[in-house]
Amino acid sequence: MSNEALILAYVVSLLAALSGLAIYSELRRRRFGPTATEDRIFRCQKCGLVYTDDADVDRSRCSQCGRLNDAIVF
């Protein structure tokens, strides 16, 4: 084998190993990372409390003062 072919094989094998390690770490991060919640975020117009409620709720009652609030739209 020529020197160029040996260097090419060495570089390609190192890049393949680095790519495999990057894919493995990304899959591991996704598996153990926190998942996004389905809840909606509400902010009370009266007392300013920020709280969450189920995704199927359009208006939610504040647990601190009892006022009905609309969900925050980002």
Provide the residue ranges of all domains of the chain, joining segments of one domain with +: 1-35, 40-70
**What pLDDT score was predicted for residue 49?**
92
Q: How many CB atoms lie within 10 A of CB 51?
A: 16
**What pLDDT score was predicted for residue 57?**
85
**What pLDDT score was predicted for residue 34?**
78
**What pLDDT score was predicted for residue 73?**
82
- Residue 22 phi/psi, 5-degree rounding, is -65, -40
Per-residue pLDDT tens digits for 10-61: 999 999 999 999 999 999 988 887 777 788 999 999 999 999 998 888 899 9
Task: Decide: pTM greater than 0.85.
Answer: no
Confidence of residue 5 (pLDDT cuts 50, 70, 90): very high
